[in-house]
Amino acid sequence: MTSSDPDSRILLLMRHGKAESAGEQDFDRDLTARGHQQARLIGDYLESQGVRPSRVFVSSAARTRETWQSVAAAMPGFDGEVTFADELYHGGPPEVVDLLRGVDDDRVVMVVGHEPTMSVLGHLLADGDSDPGAAAQARIGLPTGSMCVLSGPLDSWSALGEDALALLTVVRG
């Protein structure tokens, strides 16, 4: 999943794990046990692939914060920068792209957010070299606890735009 190309970037777009469905305001919904398990599986996947995000953006909602905590727990010694962003809860793809374009030189960036933003963004950024199955999944939506893995050569994150990265796979937690 990594590349020796000095301009190669990896973008990980994850939908939060399965959340409680009733009893609280949407923003405050917690993850279920299944949601925590899904997130740990994504963390295990990243750890097994040797992929460590150095920059992470997480929606400020309870379920996305808990998702990130479970992902990070599977990556001992994680030392990247994490930002909890209201824009990821209230905004859509343009707001996420704006956040990403502001990233400095980090090679691996992760976003933990919500549907439909994560799948729409995965589909929007995917180029013609993308895996057809992964592209189809992004078109129809990401299940809870799933993550789009995109990669490609970008001089900088400020160059991120439509068809900029190859959608390599969708990992299901």
pTM (2 d.p.): 0.94
Which of 124, 123, 121 is closest to 162 using CA atoms? Answer: 124
Candidate CATH numbers 3.50.30.10, 3.40.50.620, 3.40.50.1240, 3.40.50.360; the one for domain 8-172: 3.40.50.1240
- pLDDT given for residue 26 in this prediction: 85
Domains in the chain: boundaries: 8-172
pLDDT in tens, 62-96: 999 999 999 999 999 999 999 999 999 999 999 99
pLDDT in tens, 140-163: 999 999 999 999 999 899 999 999
- pLDDT given for residue 6 in this prediction: 52
The crossing angle, in degrees rounded to 10, of helices 117-125 and 93-101 is 60
In angstroms, rounded to a whole number, what is the distance separating the alpha carbons of residues 173 and 157?
27
In angstroms, rounded to a whole number, what is the distance separating the alpha carbons of residues 110 and 167?
14
In angstroms, rounded to a whole number, what is the distance separating the alpha carbons of residues 69 and 61?
13
Measured between alpha carbons, how far is residue 39 from residues 4, 7, 157 in Å? Answer: 28, 29, 26
Whether 82 contacts 130, CB under 8 Å:
no
